[in-house]
Amino acid sequence: GRCAELVNSSLQAFFEPKLDSDLYRAAYHLLKAGGKRLRPFLAIQSCLAVGGSEKAALPGALAVELLHNFTLVHDDIMDRDLIRSGVPTVHAKWGVPMAILAGDLLFALSFEALSQAEGLVSSERLEKAYELLARVAVEICEGQSLDMSFEGRLDVSEEEYLSMIEKKTAALFRTSTMLGALLGGGSQEQVEALASYGRSIGLAFQIKDDILGVISEEKVLGKPVGSDLREGKKTIVVIYALEHASSDDRKLLTKVLGSKQCSEEDLKKALEVLSTTGAIEYAYKQARRYVENGLKHLSSLPESRSRRILAELAEFMVTREK
């Protein structure tokens, strides 16, 4: 609601004057297409939860949303995905060279957005904020690299998967809550509590994402179902299924994994194996566990409307349908 509008109008105010340029149109494309605005929402609510204002949170909120969209633009190139959020991906519309550049621009703009906090917080806090933003960019790259290296392997462990999604996804959730708390004047304990909360719900979010990738419908998801399987992605669902499937089912799964050419019928059967092995149920249990863990960390914050909203958001991580 209000948070999304605040973020959207700020993004709009920044990009609209520049939309006669292909570069800015390409960079704004996915931002304009929507998305959940979860990360800026986390930054703003975390800021409010420690007694800060929306205005104080905004530079951090914009920074994490711009950084997030930079990763999406480049991820789509790497995965050769043609659709995201129900619209053509940036490289599908403008070509790979422009998409690389648009991603680079979003990356640079995220730091520029954070610089708007100058004069709103102490220089120590701003310095720490820059450090967090740079650090999370490094972690996302490392996580994405791990994710790609897993595609060629069938022996990825759940532990490896968890350390990958921690870097690829949970780190930015953690950074969003930390930036909000930092810019809102939170104490070190509050910043750390919100960091742990952010990390936990980020892990839950990615696990649920991996579940939705195999059980959702294309029109809800905004991209083809089972594309994770075809790309050979090693999600917690796939890892559990490979470990617990019968040898015939395992053969089928192995055949479909990473096979862009597999038949619709084989894909459908492989998706069924994920259900019958109990892999989806197992993944869901793990996601719930992280939600509970996240909620625990909120209890050290003073009771407030924002704290209640953050608690509801933790639940949304596992109940969401897209």
What HEC string does 170-205 produce?
Answer: HHHHHHHHHHHHHHCCCCHHHHHHHHHHHHHHHHHH
HSE of 3, CA atoms in CB hemisphere, 13 A: 27
Which pLDDT score, from 0 to 100, does residue 322 have? 85
Query: Which residues does 233 contact at the CB level (< 8 Å), separation at least 6?
Result: 147, 150, 151, 210, 213
pLDDT average, residue stretch 112-134: 98
Which pLDDT score, from 0 to 100, does residue 231 have? 87
Which pLDDT score, from 0 to 100, does residue 280 have? 96
Q: Which residue has the higher pLDDT, 86 or 284?
A: 284
Mean pLDDT of the chain: 96
Which pLDDT score, from 0 to 100, does residue 216 have? 79
pLDDT average, residue stretch 273-287: 97
Which pLDDT score, from 0 to 100, does residue 218 have? 67
Report CA-CA distances (Å) from 314 to 34, 186, 287, 289: 21, 20, 10, 11
161-183 per-position pLDDT tens digit: 999 999 999 999 999 999 999 99
Low-confidence winner among 216-230, 243-257, 298-312 (lowest mean pLDDT): 216-230
Which pLDDT score, from 0 to 100, does residue 248 have? 96
Instruction: Give residue 279's identity as a one-letter amino acid code.
Output: A
pLDDT average, residue stretch 21-31: 98
Asked whether the beta carbons of 99 and 78 are under 8 A apart, the reply is no
Low-confidence winner among 117-121, 133-137, 220-224, 284-288 (lowest mean pLDDT): 220-224
Q: Confidence band (pLDDT; 50, 70, 90) for 228?
A: confident
Look-up: residue for tokens 């998305």? Answer: 35
Q: Which helix (H) or strand (E) holds 87?
A: strand 87-88
Asked whether the beta carbons of 168 and 33 are under 8 A apart, the reply is no
Asked whether the beta carbons of 117 and 60 are under 8 A apart, the reply is yes
pLDDT average, residue stretch 234-258: 96
Q: Choose among 270, 255, 285: nearest CA to 225.
A: 270
Q: Does residue 23 surpass a pLDDT of 90?
A: yes
**88 in helix, strand or coil?**
strand
Q: Where are the domains of the chain?
A: 2-319
> Global pTM?
0.95
Q: Choose among 101, 92, 103: nearest CA to 70.
A: 103
Q: Confidence band (pLDDT; 50, 70, 90) for 85?
A: confident
CATH T-level fold of 2-319: Farnesyl Diphosphate Synthase (1.10.600)
Q: Does residue 226 surpass a pLDDT of 90?
A: no
Report CA-CA distances (Å) from 203 to 134, 170, 198: 20, 5, 9
Q: How far apart are CA 5 and CA 165, in angstroms?
A: 29
Query: Which residues does 315 contact at the CB level (< 8 Å), separation at least 6?
Result: 291
Q: Which residue has the higher pLDDT, 193 or 3?
A: 193
Which pLDDT score, from 0 to 100, does residue 115 have? 98
